[in-house]
Every structure is written in structure tokens, then in C-alpha cells.
């Protein structure tokens, strides 16, 4: 068997094993495992936020009249904060599996594909001497990522398209073969219709493109500048994706700007770092030291990528993290998940070293217990799941 095929099969198997390890105590409805109570059974996995909200979108496709037929307390405009990419995939597979199983299938399938995309990114651009090991660690780190790819969540699909887009952009930069740039634009568009922060991919690479022009340090003619800009026109597919979603909202909600009127779901604030303000609605906490370390590791990773001359990745990481400084939400670790694959690349020398392999058994137990404790508490108050099938 070819080594690449073998590696991809191993990674797919690892995704399945890791996911099953998270699901197992829920499937067995264990009343006491390491002090944790799983007696609610597998319904806990189905009920974890925000999966059921995407199922509602898959069933209604933002039709306010249809929302009324589903017994839930959220107003119709609330769902405009959720972009439709993940829900579209749920609806497609629901034809065969029902909505709840489809929700989990899309999460697990997206995780497998995201892991493969990460593996190819690391291997093809020689970003680590051990791409298989780094891709395996990508399944577990950070711990918040393990949670979202084990339940219903749009992040696995979004991260898949982000990694794929970055990979295709770097292939274009390396080979100058124009189809790669077109494929990048399509992947970026898919990322954009999956989650609102997809627009940051456009912002980051637009800044990178103009920085690269500036660094040439020579005056170019207006004609050459125009031709250069036209060459990169596929990146405009990303904001086009946002316009398509907003057009969908204008048709179904009667309001092109419905996303910005979806309640308290847009957590951007000014000045930055309001996440350290206890009075913010989605903060309400003073034990926030972990967020300090998230920003330290994130920005340090971005600078490290810059020093490694991985400029497209560095621009994306630094742009995304800069935007994240304006987010006032206790769960900041979830919001920065799209940059974490690239942070792993920044610190790959430590992550594939012998030291990590020695402490990995302890780290795995810590991550596992953290994930289960979180999943058990992060559930929607939905007593009857049958309405979602």
C-alpha cells in the first residue's frame, strides 16, 4: 500500500476512534465514570450547542413561517447569525439518515477531510518532518477542538474549507498555476457561507497581496498594477459568498441586513479585550487567565510563522487574532479555533519531539476529562429530540 494512502486511512481511523472514545460513556449511559454522570445517554451528544440550531435551519431554511411549526423558544431572526453551509450538508444527508444522525455525520466527515487537508498542507510544503504525527495531534489540540468535532457544530466544516483554501493559495503561490487560485476562491466561498468569519480570509490575503506588491520596492505602471489585481480576482468569491447569504436573508426575512439584527449573537465590541470585562453579557466571569495564554500562544504562533516566511498563513493567523481581540465572549477558545491548525505548525518542532510523546498519556487524560465535563453541561434545554428527526 502506498504510504500516502496508508497515512490517510490511519488518520480516518484515528478520527473514528477518538470520536467513539468521546461517545462511548454516553452510549453506555454510565451513571458514574471518573465522577461524571452520563445517565442521560447519547441524547447529550445530540443536544450539545449549537448543533440543533443548525438542524432547525436545515429543516426550515430561514423560513419564518416554518420556524413557528418547531417547538422552540428562539425568535426567527436569531437564526440569521448562523450561516447556511453546515445546514445545507445536514439537509442533504438527512434524506437518508434523518437530521440528527446527519448532523453528526457531517461533523465527523468534515473532521476526517480537515485532517487530510492538514496532512497534505504539512507534507506538501515540508512544514514538519512528521506530518502524520502532527496531523494526529491536530485531532486532539486544542482540547476545545476535540469537543466541537465530536458533536454537532459548524466548525469542522468551516475549518476544512479554511485549511483547503490556504493550501490551494499556497500551491498557486508556489507553482503559479492559475487553476489553484480559482479553486482557492471556491474553497473560500464555501468557508464564507459556512461561518461569518470567513470574510477574514479575504481580508488577510488581500492585505498579504498588497504587502507583497509594496515589498517589491519598485514603481510599477498603472497597467501592471491593474493586471496584477485582475489576476487575483478569484479572491472576490469570498465576499461574494457573504453577499449570497445576505441575499438569501433578504428573500426569507425581507431584510438584507438581518445578520446584524439577530440579537446578541455578534460579540464584537470596542475597545478591544472587552472579554476581560466581567459585566459583558457573554463573559460574566473573573477567572479568565486561560484567555491570556490563548492570546500569547496565538500571537507568538503568528510571529513564528512570519519568521518561517510562511507569509500567507501568518497574515491569516494575525488578522484573525486581531479581530478576535474585539470579541467579548467567555468561550474565546472556540472563536479562535480556525487559526489553531496553523499554530500547531508554528510550534511543530516541540509538538513532534520526544518530550511530547512522554507526557502525551497525561495530556490525553486531561483533555478527555475536560471534554466530557464540558459536553455534559453544554446542552440545549430540549426534552424531546424526536421533533428534530
Q: What's the mean per-residue pLDDT of the chain?
A: 91
Q: Is 23 exposed, middle or buried (0-12, 13-18, 19+ CB in 10 A)?
A: middle
Say how many CA atoms lie within 13 Å of 288 toward its Cβ.
Answer: 19
Q: Please check the confidence at residue 214 and state whether its pLDDT lies above 90.
A: no
b or e along 298-321 (b: 16 or more beta carbons within 10 Å of the residue's beta carbon)? bbebbebbbeeebbbbbbbbbbbb
Determine the structural domain holding residue 303 and report its residue range: 3-388
Q: Determine the pLDDT at residue 343.
A: 97
Give the residue with greater pLDDT, 143 vs 268. 143
The whole-number pLDDT of residue 219 equals 60
pLDDT digits (tens, 9 = 90+) for 303-346: 999 999 999 999 999 999 999 999 988 889 999 999 999 999 99
Please count the structural domains in the chain: 1
Mean pLDDT of 58-81: 83
In the predicted model, is pLDDT for residue 78 greater than 80?
yes
Of the given ranges (21-30, 216-225, 233-242, 350-359), which has the lowest mean pLDDT?
Answer: 216-225
136 close to 44: Cβ distance less than 8 angstroms: no
Spatial separation of the C-alpha atoms in residues 317 and 307, rounded to whole Å: 13
Lowest mean pLDDT, pick from 27-41, 128-142, 170-184, 354-368:
354-368
The predicted structure's pLDDT at residue 218 = 61
Per-residue pLDDT reduced to its tens digit, 175-211: 989 999 999 999 999 999 999 999 999 999 999 988 8
pLDDT tens column, 104-119: 999 999 999 999 999 9
Nearest to 86 by CA among 66, 114, 48, 58: 58
Alpha-carbon distance of 227 to 231, in angstroms, equals 6
- The residue ranking higher by pLDDT, 242 or 75, is 242
Q: How far apart are CA 213 and CA 229, in angstroms?
A: 10
Asked if 165 contacts 184 with a C-beta cutoff of 8 angstroms, the reply is yes
Say yes or no to pLDDT of 266 above 80. Answer: no
Question: How far apart, in whole angstroms, are the C-alpha atoms of residue 65 and residue 63?
Answer: 5
Do the Cβ atoms of 85 and 110 come closer than 8 Å? no
Confidence check: pLDDT of 217 > 70: no
Cell of 51: 448543533
Whole-prediction pTM:
0.94
Mean pLDDT of 274-288: 85
Least confident of 61-65, 222-226, 281-285, 370-374: 222-226
Q: What is the DSSP letter of 380?
A: -
> CA angle 272-276-282, nearest 5°?
95
Distance CA 46, CA 379 (A): 8
Spatial distance between the Cα atoms of 347 and 128, rounded to a whole number of angstroms: 10
Task: Mark residue 367 as left, alpha or beta (left: phi above 0; alpha: psi -120 to 50; beta: remaining).
Answer: alpha
- φ/ψ of 268, rounded to 5, equals -80, 135
Split at pLDDT 50, 70, 90, the class of 220 is low
Q: In whole angstroms, what is the distance from residue 255 CA to residue 79 CA?
A: 13
**Greater pLDDT, 363 or 104:** 104
Question: Residues 201, 152: contact at Cβ < 8 Å?
Answer: no
Give me 29's grid cell.
449511559
Average pLDDT estimate for 208-226: 73
- In the prediction, which pLDDT does 64 show? 82
Long-range contacts of 241-247 (CB under 8 A, 24+ apart): 241/188, 241/189, 241/190, 241/191, 241/192, 241/193, 241/198, 242/192, 242/193, 242/196, 242/198, 242/199, 244/193, 245/83, 245/84, 245/192, 245/193
The long-range contacts involving 286-294, CB below 8 angstroms and separated by at least 24 positions, are 288/330, 290/333, 291/332, 291/333, 294/332, 294/333, 294/336
Q: How far is CA 321 from CA 17, 56, 231, 278, 324, in A?
A: 31, 30, 28, 21, 5
pLDDT at 157: 98
- Specify the range with the lowest mean pLDDT, choosing from 14-28, 160-174, 284-298: 284-298
Q: What is the mean pLDDT of residues 38-66?
A: 91
Amino acid at each position: 500500500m502506498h504510504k500516502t494512502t496508508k497515512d490517510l486511512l490511519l488518520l480516518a481511523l484515528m478520527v473514528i476512534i477518538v470520536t467513539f472514545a468521546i461517545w462511548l460513556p454516553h452510549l453506555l449511559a454510565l451513571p458514574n465514570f471518573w465522577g461524571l454522570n452520563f445517565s442521560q445517554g447519547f441524547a447529550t451528544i445530540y443536544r450539545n450547542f449549537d448543533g440543533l440550531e443548525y438542524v432547525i435551519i436545515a429543516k426550515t431554511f430561514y423560513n419564518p413561517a416554518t420556524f413557528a411549526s418547531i417547538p422552540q423558544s428562539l425568535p426567527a431572526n436569531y437564526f440569521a447569525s448562523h450561516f447556511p453551509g453546515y445546514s445545507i450538508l445536514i439537509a442533504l444527508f438527512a434524506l437518508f439518515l434523518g437530521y440528527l444522525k446527519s448532523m453528526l455525520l457531517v461533523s465527523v466527515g468534515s473532521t476526517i477531510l480537515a485532517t487530510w487537508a492538514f496532512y497534505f498542507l504539512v507534507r506538501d510544503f515540508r512544514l514538519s518532518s512528521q506530518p502524520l504525527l502532527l496531523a494526529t495531534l491536530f485531532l486532539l489540540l486544542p482540547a476545545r477542538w476535540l469537543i466541537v468535532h465530536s458533536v454537532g457544530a459548524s466548525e469542522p466544516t468551516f475549518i476544512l474549507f479554511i485549511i483547503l483554501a490556504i493550501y490551494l493559495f499556497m500551491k498557486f503561490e508556489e507553482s503559479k498555476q492559475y487553476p489553484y487560485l480559482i479553486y482557492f476562491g471556491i474553497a473560500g466561498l464555501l468557508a464564507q457561507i459556512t461561518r461569518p468569519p470567513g470574510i477574514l480570509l479575504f481580508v488577510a490575503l488581500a492585505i498579504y497581496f498588497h504587502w507583497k506588491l509594496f515589498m517589491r520596492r519598485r514603481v510599477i505602471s498603472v497597467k501592471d498594477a491593474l493586471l496584477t489585481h485582475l489576476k487575483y480576482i478569484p479572491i472576490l468569491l469570498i465576499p461574494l459568498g457573504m453577499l449570497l447569504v445576505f441575499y438569501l436573508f433578504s428573500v426569507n426575512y425581507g431584510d438584507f441586513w438581518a445578520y446584524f439584527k439577530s440579537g446578541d449573537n455578534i460579540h464584537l465590541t470596542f475597545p478591544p479585550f472587552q472579554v476581560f470585562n466581567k459585566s459583558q453579557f457573554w463573559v460574566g466571569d473573573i477567572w479568565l487567565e486561560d484567555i491570556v495564554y490563548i492570546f500569547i500562544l496565538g500571537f507568538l504562533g503568528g510571529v513564528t510563522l512570519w519568521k518561517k516566511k510562511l507569509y500567507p498563513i501568518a497574515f491569516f493567523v494575525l488578522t484573525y487574532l486581531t479581530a478576535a481581540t474585539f470579541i467579548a465572549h467567555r468561550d474565546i477558545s472556540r472563536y479562535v479555533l480556525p487559526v489553531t491548525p496553523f499554530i500547531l505548525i508554528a510550534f511543530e518542532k516541540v509538538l513532534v519531539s520526544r518530550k511530547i510523546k512522554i507526557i502525551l498519556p497525561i495530556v490525553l487524560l486531561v483533555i478527555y476529562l475536560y471534554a466530557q465535563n464540558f459536553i455534559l453541561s453544554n446542552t440545549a434545554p430540549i426534552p424531546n429530540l424526536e421533533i428534530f428527526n
